[in-house]
């Protein structure tokens, strides 16, 4: 249970912000708990759909890739260990990512459940997640499997631009910012991820097919996998997700 923010801190928060947080919490109170995993190759749309899902179902969004990149930028011991594998498009060790997720799911924002984006990526990670949830008397409710041909992904990955502070993602063809190179909300510069190039994409895809596809089979055996047509437009994919979770 999180400790309450000191009253002095709350006094500094704008009334409109407090009201919108209050309204958000009232809306969320009636939502059922959900524990959802998004699985799919690089560029399939996991990061694009997550914020929509997060708002609709009041879940926290835990993206191991984002967390690892933040650790790399901050040069923490975790980031130093993860950097080499990430730059090459390989997976970082199971122990590192399982440790991150174990901590992250305890956040108050995960009270209603979570969206796992990019985790589990190996069967070992899936088994550790299942054991962790079983300890809490819960389990994974749905695995959304973003099905898409590899040939579509290069254009998506090489055209992607990110606003590092917020994680907002753009695409020079499919989701262009209002002003080229700048974030729509803050006007700050957009960047391209170091691993978003055709060469590293090959290794990322190889890791996906070899190590992550078996995760889908692991959850198929448990009857919780729903396939999505991830080659469709973002709006169509959102509609399929809504159906899958209703």
What is the distance between the alpha carbons of residues 139 and 190, in angstroms, rounded to a whole number? 37
**Shortest distance in whole angstroms from residue 176 CB to ligand AP5:** 9
**Shortest distance in whole angstroms from residue 152 CB to ligand AP5:** 8
**Shortest distance in whole angstroms from residue 29 CB to ligand AP5:** 29
Burial group, residue 121, by CB count within 10 angstroms (0-12, 13-18, 19+): buried
CB atoms within 10 A of CB 78: 19
Residue tagged active-site, from 34, 81, 193, 232: 193
Active site residue 193: yes
In 118-159, the DSSP E strands lie at 142-147
The 8-class DSSP code of residue 139 comes to -
- Of the pair 28, 182, the CB lying nearest ligand AP5 is at 182
Residue tagged active-site, from 128, 156, 160, 168: 160
Binding site for ligand AP5 (CB under 6 A): 40, 42-48, 64-65, 68, 85-86, 89-92, 97, 118-119, 121, 125, 156, 160, 169, 171, 174-175, 204, 233-234, 237
Residue tagged active-site, from 35, 69, 121, 128: 121
Cβ atoms of residues 104 and 129 within 8 Å:
no
Asked whether the CA dihedral 225, 36, 67, 163 is positive or negative, the reply is positive
- Of the pair 28, 244, the CB lying nearest ligand AP5 is at 244
204 CB-side CA count, 13 A: 22
Residue tagged active-site, from 46, 69, 128, 168: 46
Active site residue 69: no
- Of the pair 39, 58, the CB lying nearest ligand AP5 is at 39
Is the omega angle on the peptide bond into residue 115 within 30 degrees of 0, that is, cis?
A: no
- Of the pair 61, 113, the CB lying nearest ligand AP5 is at 61
Active site residue 204: yes
Active site residue 25: no
The CA R_g of the chain, rounded to the nearest whole Å, is 18
Residue tagged active-site, from 35, 83, 128, 204: 204
**Shortest distance in whole angstroms from residue 27 CB to ligand AP5:** 25
Separation in Å, CA 27 to CA 5, 21, 56, 223: 21, 10, 10, 30
**Shortest distance in whole angstroms from residue 12 CB to ligand AP5:** 34
The answer for residues whose C-beta is within 8 angstroms of residue 88's C-beta and 6 or more apart is 200, 203
- Of the pair 58, 116, the CB lying nearest ligand AP5 is at 116
What is the distance between the alpha carbons of residues 53 and 46, in angstroms, rounded to a whole number? 10
- Annotated active-site positions, please? 46, 121, 160, 193, 204
């Amino acid at each position: 249970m999180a400790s309450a923010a000191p009253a002095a801190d709350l006094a500094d928060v704008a009334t409109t912000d407090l009201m919108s947080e209050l309204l958000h919490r009232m809306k969320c109170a009636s939502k059922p708990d959900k524990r959802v995993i998004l699985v799919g190759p690089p560029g399939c749309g996991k990061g694009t759909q997550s914020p929509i899902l997060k708002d609709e179902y009041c879940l926290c969004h835990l993206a191991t890739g984002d967390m690892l990149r933040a650790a790399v930028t901050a040069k923490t011991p975790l980031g130093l260990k993860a950097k080499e594998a990430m730059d090459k498009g390989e997976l970082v060790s199971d122990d590192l990512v399982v440790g991150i997720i174990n901590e992250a799911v305890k956040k108050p924002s995960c009270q209603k459940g979570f969206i796992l984006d990019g985790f589990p990526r190996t069967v070992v990670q899936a088994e550790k997640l299942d054991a962790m949830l079983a300890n809490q008397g819960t389990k994974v409710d749905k695995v959304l499997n973003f099905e898409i041909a590899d040939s579509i992904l290069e254009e998506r990955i090489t055209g992607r631009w990110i606003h590092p502070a917020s994680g907002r993602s753009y695409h020079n063809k499919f989701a262009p910012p209002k002003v080229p190179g700048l974030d729509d909300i803050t006007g700050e510069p957009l960047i391209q991820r170091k691993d978003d190039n055709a060469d590293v994409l090959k290794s990322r895809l190889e890791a996906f097919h070899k190590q992550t596809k078996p995760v889908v089979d692991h959850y198929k055996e448990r009857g919780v996998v729903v396939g999505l047509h991830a080659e469709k437009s973002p709006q169509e994919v959102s509609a399929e997700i809504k159906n899958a979770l209703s």
